Every structure is written in C-alpha cells, then in structure tokens.
Structure 1
Amino acid sequence: MKRALLYTVVAWIFCIGFLACKKSVSTDSSAITIENISGTYALKGLTWTFGGFNFNVYDSLDACEKDNLIKFNTDKTVDYIDAGAVCTPPEDDNGTWDLQGDSLIFSSNYSNAKIQSFNGKTLILTGVADGETGATATTTLEKQ
C-alpha cells in the first residue's frame, strides 16, 4: 500500500513538473523589427561631427523644437508632431519610413539613418547632418 501511494505521489509530482515546464517565448523588445521600433519618441540628444569635432546641436535648438515627438507607425508611416510649445510656423509633418537591415529609410526631405543601437527604449541613429556636407549627425530618441 505504501509503495502504491509513493508511486502515485511521484506520478503527480512528475505531472505537475511536466505541466509547469513550458517553453518560454522570447519577446526581445530590443530586436530591430518594425514592431519594436514603432512607437512615439522624444528627442533627447543631437550632435554633429564635422572635421573631427563634435558639436552639441541639441542645446542650441529652440525650446519649441526640443519637445517635438516622432511617431513611427507600424504601417510604415511617420508623424512629426509639434508637441508642447508650438513653433512658428508649426513643424508638424508626416511621411513614410521603412526598415532595411540596420537602417531606417525615410521619405520626403529626411535623410536615411543607420541604427547605432536600440535597447527597446532608446534609439540612437547616425546619418548625414541636415544640409551639412561632410557632417555626421547622431540623434538620440527615447520611446515615450
């Protein structure tokens, strides 16, 4: 009788252990995918590198530009939102974006950008500085 009870207890422990052990599905939010990149971002840093010198462009932006948002939609549209203090004229805009390897490809007047890093919240991009031949821009965006 004790042996049957022991086998029953061992069988139950095995069943509970077997049912409790399920494969975990990785949801790596830092993987560079359209779904993970999509979201609304605030500008947190902007530097230009030219001739070996780094320039902090973010600090020289108007307050109305520092609080703007960029919304990458999953349908590959992008909205530039003049949030907070509105600039004159307002800087609202829209366009399209795409992910090709480790680069974001933008429509309209915006340059393409290489993804330097992405941890699921902070997105760091590099590309040609707007209107500056030979200058590289590094943009830091933070997901809201």
Structure 2
Amino acid sequence: MSRAIARLVTAAACGVVLASAAVPASAAGRNPVVFGRIQYDSPGKDDRSAKSLNAEWVTITNTGKKAVDLNRWTLSDTSRHVYRFGKVRLAPHASVRVHTGKGKDTAKDVYQNRRAYVWNNTKDKATLKDAGGRVVATASWGRR
C-alpha cells in the first residue's frame, strides 16, 4: 500500500474516532468541551521548523451554551507531554486550536512553544483534563 493511501486510510479511521469524540458531552450530562479536528501528521517536510510544528494541532470545542474558562486545564499525550492552558476563555460554540510549535496566543490559536513534535503519527491519545484533574475528553488514533 502506498504511503498516500495508508495516510488516507489512517485519516478515515481517525475521522471515525473523532466523530464519536465530538458528540456533545452535555447531552450525556457531562462537560460540553470536546475535541474537534486533530492534525497529528503535519503536512510537508518534518523539519521541526515553526511552520511544520504549528501544522500539528488539536482543536478544543465548547459545544455548550455558556463560556468555559480553560485556565489550568491540561492537554496531554501518551508520552506524558503536558500543555497547561493559561487565561483562555472559550465562548459558547467556539473552538481554540492548540499548536505544537511557537507563536503568539490569540482567542482562536494557542501555542505549546515546543521544539519537537508531540502527536505520534502511528498511535497516540490526546487527553483533556479540567482544572480539577478530571478527564473531560479523550481521542485516540493509530494501531493498537
């Protein structure tokens, strides 16, 4: 199987996992914050440039009707890389994209300021925890 086809198959499988993760948690009586799209294999050359690192990202979406304060929430992977949110307020039905590389934080994009990739291209798991350490959302992809 060519690499391009393998990526398409992996992306399709990831879409199934992400689609199930994107079901509004408020419907189940849980936190309304969910994972949106995840770009775990930055397109182009993996040269650890700012452009390449920032092409790897995770989207966090508030599906609820009230704003959510993400201050002190954490985003982690299976290798225990942890990003701690600063002063980020997520408006109702809004999203924030968490990039791996360096950049200036805005309301729609925040940066982990890392010099290496976080999300493994073949198997990984993203975990979002609230300020109290409770798991709010998870998303997995790749082979088990």
TM-score, normalised with respect to structure 2:
0.29
TM-score, normalised with respect to structure 1:
0.29
1 or 2, which has the higher strand percentage?
A: 1
Higher gyration radius (CA): 1
